[in-house]
Structure 1
Amino acid sequence: MNASARRSEIRDLLQVRPVAVAELAARYGVSESTIRRDLARLSASGAVVRTYGGALSSAPPEEQSLGEREKLAAREKAAIARAAECHAADCRLVLLDAGTTVGALAARLAARGGLTVATPGLTSINILAGVPGIELIVLGGTVRPLSLGMVGPLAESAVARLTADAVFLGADGVVAGRGLCEARPEQTALKQLMIDRSREIYVLADAAKLGRADSHWWATFDRPWTLITDASAPAERLAPFRADPLCTVEVALPL
């Protein structure tokens, strides 16, 4: 990755949460002095605000569109999808959430076949529709333009009529001991129902999502669940999840 692309990705990442210099250096495999120069350039342009040991975005956080999310942490999401795929191996019916990381998993399941998939996510629907060996159940509802996921009473009614061997969830943020957060209550209402109707629970979240709690609506866990994240997640951010008695942490190896 060249310097310009790295700075662009850093700017996008800082719109999600503040980030430390040391974390960015580890994430991109460069020196801390290189990251400081990147942040100095971004600060001079007004894109970020420098803090002690790191930086944060100068703009207020906004919910990102699906297209914007697809550009963030693509390698990390691919690694998470590969790690998640093995957990679907013995399943007959799985629930796939909306979102880009779960969409990456859908692409891997398309090559596997021999599975029934129920999903409200148009990304996964477009990937899986017509694929031999995949029985696709569309959880219809009201489409949210930003996420291209369906929500509302129609989607909830469909989920209430099935049971799944496993659910694979995304989220705006995930917090140990608290759960998943999203921008709208109808999103978390559907996620909570998907959790309740599934035997196994997997949360697919890249390092930027860990500990993020700036959305207002939550789905919670009252039984064991597995967090699958990427190898750039620092130890201090993983520690609360490792300490959570309900959570199993799985770190996806880089591709």
Structure 2
Amino acid sequence: MRHSNDRRRRILDLVSTGEEDVDALARRFGVSASTIRRDLAGLSRSGAITRTYGGAVLAHRAPEQTLPDRERIQSSAKEAIARAAAGVIQDGDSVLLDSGSTVGALGHCLANATVRVVTGNLPLVPVLVQRGFQVTILGGDVRSISMGVVGSLAELVLRRLTVDKVFLGADGVIAGRGLCEASPEQCALKELMMAQAGSVFVLADSSKLGQATQQCWAPISKPWTLITDAKASEAQLQPFLSRPEITVLRAR
């Protein structure tokens, strides 16, 4: 019984980081798939998880934070990531800036007004316009908690544009799975952003690596670059470094 309880605690930890497939969990623990199903059933009865076809997800999402709250968290790491991201932008580039605090920090780092900016990150718009940037705003519905836009109108505008580089934020990022967010609308827009960009950059501080704090996902179907901070451990980075489609840039 003790071994079963220990295994269930470890399964819950793995589900919280996005590993939810029954067969994968069975291989990890060296037990049968039916044993894992019984463990998941027990966790489901306790209210810790919600069963899905072939696996499980956490039953309760982490509360989504407001933009001002996000800006106060890991601020020095986000500033370092922003500087590193600004370093990959070249003269004359067209860039697509996602909503969120880390991408917002990147917007404040931009200094070369030959860069054309497309964004739904509303707090950045007056900052960039006042600095002389050419700015295209995505229309759509405003999410007041993040001050970013989502929805069919934003997608309609974006389908008529292409950019050299897109810079994305996320609530969590898992190698081989993608970006997690609070709503399907956010994920749909991020997927389209990636499709319309020549190069994809994900800006995520070390606290978000390997984390699945929300239940909606935007998979990444092309080569991409993770830009994270110096506090990211080797254990956190190893799943990203082991995948040939991912380049890792650690800000200093």
The interval holding the TM-score normalised by the smaller chain is 0.7 to 0.9
Aligned residues: 195
State how far apart, in whole Å, the 2-side matches of 1:205 and 1:225 are.
13
Amino acid at match of 1:212: Q
Structure 2 CA distance for aligned equivalents of residues 155 and 216 of structure 1: 22
- Cα distance in 2 for partners of 1:61, 1:215 equals 6
Distance 1:126 1:188 in 2: 25
Shift of 1:129: 2.2
Displacement of 1:216: 1.2
Counterpart in 2 of 1:41? none
| 2:126 pairs with 1:126 | yes
Normalized against structure 1, the TM-score is what?
0.74
RMSD between aligned alpha carbons? 1.6
Q: Equivalent residue for 1:71?
A: 72
For residues 187 and 60 of structure 1, do their structure 2 counterparts lie closer, same or farther at Cα, with a shift above 3 Å needed?
Answer: closer
Native 8 Å contact 1:100 1:123 kept in 2? no
For 1:114, the equivalent position in structure 2 comes to 114
Deviations 1:202-253 (A, max 9, x none): 0000001101112111111122100000000111011100011211000000
8 Å CA contact 1:93, 1:165 repeated in 2: yes
Secondary structure at the residue paired with 1:98? coil
Percent identity of the aligned residues? 49
| Structure 1 match to 2:101 | 100
Aligned residue type for 1:106:
G
Please state whether the residue corresponding to 2:155 is helix, strand or coil.
helix
The answer as to 2:211 corresponding to 1:227 is no
Q: Which runs of 5+ in 2 are unaligned?
A: 1-15, 18-59
Partner of 1:189, secondary structure, is helix
Q: Which has the larger radius of gyration?
A: 2
In structure 1, list runs of 5 or more residues that go unmatched.
1-16, 19-58
Change (3 A) 1:152 1:60: closer
Structure 1 segments, 4+ long, off by >4 Å, are none
C-alpha contact (below 8 Å) 2:92/2:114 kept by paired residues: no
> Would you say 1:161 and 2:142 are equivalent positions?
no
Deviations 1:137-160 (A, max 9, x none): 010111001111000011001110
TM-score (norm 2): 0.74
Contact 2:117 2:134 in 1 (8 A): yes
Given residue 85 of structure 1, which amino acid in structure 2 is its aligned partner? A
Per the TM alignment, residue 88 of structure 1 is displaced from its structure 2 partner at its CA by: 1.2
Between 1:184-193 and 1:208-217, the stretch displaced more is 208-217
Q: What letter is aligned with 1:129? A: V
Contact 2:61 2:215 in 1 (8 A): no
Helix, strand or coil at the partner of 1:201: strand
Match of residue 174 from structure 1: 173
Separation in 2, partners of 1:117, 1:194: 13
Mapped to 1, the partners of 2:157 and 2:130 lie a distance apart of: 21
CA gap of 1:155–1:60, structure 2 versus 1, over 3 A, is: closer
AA of the residue aligned to 1:116: R
